[in-house]
Amino acid sequence: MNENDTKVEQFGPCTFPNPAGYDYWTEDNSVVLFQTIFSGPDDAKKTIETSPVFFEQAGPKEKIYFRPEEVTAGIVTCGGLCPGINDVIRALVMELHYRYKVPRILGFPFGYEGLVKKFGHRPIELTPDKVAHIMNFGGSILGSSRGNQKIEEMVDTLFLYGVKMLFCIGGDGTLRGAQAIQEEVKKRKEDIAIVGIPKTIDNDINYVQKTFGFSTAFSKAVEAVNCAHEEAKGAPNGIGLVKLMGRHSGFIAVNSALASKNVNFVLIPELDFDLEGEGAFLPVLKDRVQRRGHAVVIIAEGAGQKYFEDKGEKDRSGNKKLADVGVYIKDKITEYFQKEGVALNLKYIDPSYIIRSVPANAEDSVFCGFLAQNAVHAAFAGRTGCVVGIWNNVFTVMPISLAIAERKVLRPERSTLWRALLASTGQPNSMKAKV
């Protein structure tokens, strides 16, 4: 990555005074250093002097690009549900209305479908009164959908309603759609700011330290994990098996295990494992159960997909359809223990849709507010085709292209998080069968 990769597109010079009335402003050239760990002081100095990479710091600017009184703002929520979506919508509306004095804010229902005329979804005018208490509810008051829509038709709708800035709340697929919208707007030589707010409980957006909803999701998952532990220890040779979300990354699974402190095995997409053979998962699990009388296992939904035939099927968002590894592992554990002549009491819990549809917890709610406010600041500063996020505990703005270049995954070979997980669970570094 180089400095050009992090450069955010801007319409032009900001000439209008910011009406937000803050006591201090974020400087126009304020940046956040990408790299924070170096091999030594000399390496740090050399890197900063010769090839530094920075993100733009998010925040309100003293001068802005758009005249607020001429702005119609749009909000759209796409993809799967996630704790905190309503918090983001509320914070966007409050910042746009009270600080920037935007006269009209439209919510487009049911994701990108709401931007396509043939679906017949009428935009909802959002006011402070309408959104004042929505943070108390899970889901999205605007609804959501998956699937690709025609970019030209979506941009036509933005033109029809005179939208000057569109806030796209969603994950990887949503951000790809937002980038396509931005490119079509640019082709038509119009100034419509397209700003993404990354939403995924999997926490797998590239170069974003944390996505909203993640804290709530794994906090809620801990309830299921602790229930699995009670079930496991309450019966002879008890096993509690919990399947959690995580198509490509094991962040929810690992953080849930660390928070619970009652988990003995965590299986994630980033780390291969075998089922049978010396050192493989099932023999190691059996040994644990026979020694300690019970065990708790967490498996992320994307783990162990090598055990299924890849049929090439995809969902409406273009994601590969995953086989149900939770049920598969449950059956394999049962079969193996029967074959080994070991009695077993296994309880299987899948709380997937419960953990994503609850209201945000206090930490996520605060975080959602920061993201939304900084998205508004970025749009008014004339930034477009960008994503707001956080890096090294500082809020940032970066190009959508960088955020979707690849998925963020946990790297067990050099992850302090995984190292902490191994210390907490006591599971082997590897559960590949020894040849």
What pLDDT digit, counting tens, does each position of 122-154 carry? 999 999 999 999 999 999 999 998 888 999 999
- Predicted confidence band at 316 (pLDDT cuts at 50, 70, 90)? low
Binding-site residue ranges: 80, 146-147, 171-174, 200-202, 245-247, 301, 353-356
pTM of the model: 0.94
Cα separation, 69 vs 173, whole angstroms = 32
Catalytic residues: 202
Cα separation, 19 vs 3, whole angstroms = 31
CA distances from 182 to 135, 189, 195, 214, 424 (A): 29, 11, 9, 27, 45
Give the position of tokens 């096993």.
239
Residue 102: closest CA among 69, 62, 64: 69
| DSSP character at residue 41 | H
Q: Is 145 helix (H, G, I), strand (E, B) or coil?
A: coil
What are the chain's domains? Answer: 3-211+360-404 (3.40.50.450), 214-357+413-425 (3.40.50.460)
The rounded mean pLDDT for the chain is 94
| DSSP character at residue 230 | H
Do 81 and 170 contact (CB within 8 A), yes or no? no
Give the position of tokens 């091999």.
39
Q: What is the mean pLDDT of residues 242-266?
A: 96
| DSSP character at residue 30 | -
Provide the token pair at 91. 């914070």
**Least confident stretch, 285-299, 312-326, 362-376:** 312-326
For residue range 30-75, list pLDDT tens digits in order. 999 998 889 999 999 998 888 899 999 999 999 999 999 999 999 9
Cα separation, 348 vs 110, whole angstroms = 33
Binding-site residue ranges for ATP: 80, 146-147, 171-174
**SS3 letters across 203-221:** CCCCCCCCCECHHHHHHHH
Is the confidence at residue 314, as pLDDT, over 80?
A: no
Binding-site residue ranges for substrate: 200-202, 245-247, 301, 353-356
Residue type for position 235? A
Do 368 and 88 contact (CB within 8 A), yes or no? yes
Binding-site residue ranges for Mg(2+): 172
Is the confidence at residue 315, as pLDDT, over 80?
A: no
